[in-house]
Amino acid sequence: MIERLLFNEAEKTAREFKIVSVTGPRQSGKTTLCRHVFRNKPYVSFEDLDILEDAESSPRDFINKYKDGAVFDEIQRVPRLFNFLQTQVDKIGKNNQYVISGSNNFMLQQSISQSLAGRAAYIELLPFSLLELQKHWKETKSPEFLMLNGFYPSIITRQSSAERWLPNYLKTYIERDVRMIRNIENLNLFSKFVKLVAARSGQILNMNNLANETGVDNKTINAWLSVLESSYIVFRLQPYYRSFNKRVIKSPKLYFYDVGLLCNILSLNSERAIKNSNMYGSIFENLIVSEIKKNRLNRSQFGEMYYLRDSAGNEVDVVLEKDGELLPIEVKSSAQTSRSDVKNIKWFQRFYRINNGLLINQIEESQELEDGIMNIGWSEVVNV
């Protein structure tokens, strides 16, 4: 087993809340986490039809069988169970009672907000992070290798190949999850939408443009984006505009949680094709930004993550709130550093009167640049 950074965090969270809800994309390792960290609790999966029928027929009696706690996997299949779960945890009154998980995050979170608000804490388990894999792998992998294969456990553990697993993952997601969440009838149109979103990875979201190219209205685009977000396919990086004037761009940027899935959607099916693609810079940026996001979730870091761009074209790829301070980050796919690579960091430094910054590219050895700016190689993103 590859050790997950969230194993310890899950244990700590359980000691402080009555219920722990484990969310994340399909096939990210949620069941493995639940069964490993909470191995002293009975494990109950509602994918077992006999168990499902038992819970649906008499939720109260079912909960009473597990009054000392349990792990309930795929619990969104039994929505009636949530009210009885609420009554049970309130009656017992202690923390670390139940662990709940499910592959349909939209339905799971909806049920929690309706019945278990204030009683449940979320643990978000994404696919493997680079830090987790560096501890597992003996040799260093190239960015192109990671872009091609992604970070899903089934591919990393070599149970499946990326070229077969990723297309089937997306097909299953579209045919099963999408219809369950939004009842989308035209799956071909939705598939076109997903490809258009992939082509905009790392770009500022333009709803009108996306709607026109897809052939639907803005309301539909917003609903479909919500589906991709709730299923942990994409996330929006919001703009930072505190203490800034009205010239700042206030639309979010879109990124994929997994670069392997991104490249597969873009039909980039070899390391050479990825390296030669005109989207290489955007994919590399997506790799770095998604790793920073994983790091913050895995470490339960406080503070938000943003980008910044103004109407004059000044832009910083990532702005982190870290240890009470701002950290501007620029991402470049080149293996050499030029003065122009840090001009936007310096612009940010002047405006916010700070003296730090970070440039991430493909240099081999980290170096300190002028004005307190550090230049690190891409694999050092694990420390950000």
**CATH code (residue 180):** 1.10.10
Q: Which of 1, 29, 117 is nearest to 294 (CA)?
A: 29
Residue 178 pLDDT > 90, yes or no? no
182 and 266 share a domain?
yes
Domain count for the chain: 3
At 249, the pLDDT band (50, 70, 90 cuts) reads confident
Q: Is residue 269 a contact partner of residue 147, using CB atoms and an 8 Å limit?
A: no
C-alpha separations of 245 from 238, 293, 351 in Å: 16, 27, 11
Q: Does residue 294 sit within a domain?
A: no
54 forms beta bridges with: none
C-alpha separations of 75 from 18, 78, 79, 80, 121 in Å: 16, 6, 7, 10, 16
262 and 162 share a domain?
yes
119 and 134 share a domain?
no
229 and 149 share a domain?
yes
**Using CA atoms, how far apart are residues 164 and 148, in angstroms rounded to an integer?**
12
207 and 152 share a domain?
yes
134 and 283 share a domain?
yes
Q: Phi and psi at residue 44, in whole multiples of 5°?
A: -125, 120
Q: Is residue 23 a contact partner of residue 124, using CB atoms and an 8 Å limit?
A: yes
75 and 196 share a domain?
no
Burial of 244: CB neighbours in 10 Å, binned 0-12, 13-18, 19+ = middle
> How many CB atoms lie under 10 A from the CB of residue 323?
9
**Using CA atoms, how far apart are residues 33 and 19, in angstroms rounded to an integer?**
15
Residue 194 pLDDT > 90, yes or no? yes
Q: Which of 72, 5, 11, 83 is nearest to 42 (CA)?
A: 72
Range of the domain at 233: 130-242+251-287
84 and 141 share a domain?
no
At 174, the pLDDT band (50, 70, 90 cuts) reads confident
Q: Is residue 272 a contact partner of residue 266, using CB atoms and an 8 Å limit?
A: no
User: Where do the H-state alpha helices sit in 38-129?
Assistant: 49-57, 59-65, 81-92, 105-115
pTM of the model: 0.92
Tens digit of each residue's pLDDT (9 = 90 or more) over 348-377: 999 889 999 999 999 999 999 999 999 999
At 257, the pLDDT band (50, 70, 90 cuts) reads very high
**Using CA atoms, how far apart are residues 38 and 165, in angstroms rounded to an integer?**
29
259 and 310 share a domain?
no
What is the pLDDT averaged over residues 126-136?
Answer: 94
Burial of 208: CB neighbours in 10 Å, binned 0-12, 13-18, 19+ = exposed
114 and 218 share a domain?
no
266 and 142 share a domain?
yes
**Using CA atoms, how far apart are residues 73 and 44, in angstroms rounded to an integer?**
6
Which CATH number goes with the domain that contains 66?
3.40.50.300
Q: Does residue 256 sit within a domain?
A: yes
Residue 334 pLDDT > 80, yes or no? yes
Residue 187 pLDDT > 70, yes or no? yes
At 245, the pLDDT band (50, 70, 90 cuts) reads low
Find where tokens 């899903």 sit.
152
Q: Does residue 298 sit within a domain?
A: no
Please state which of the ranges 60-69, 102-111, 279-288 shows the lowest mean pLDDT: 102-111
Q: Is residue 191 a contact partner of residue 255, using CB atoms and an 8 Å limit?
A: no
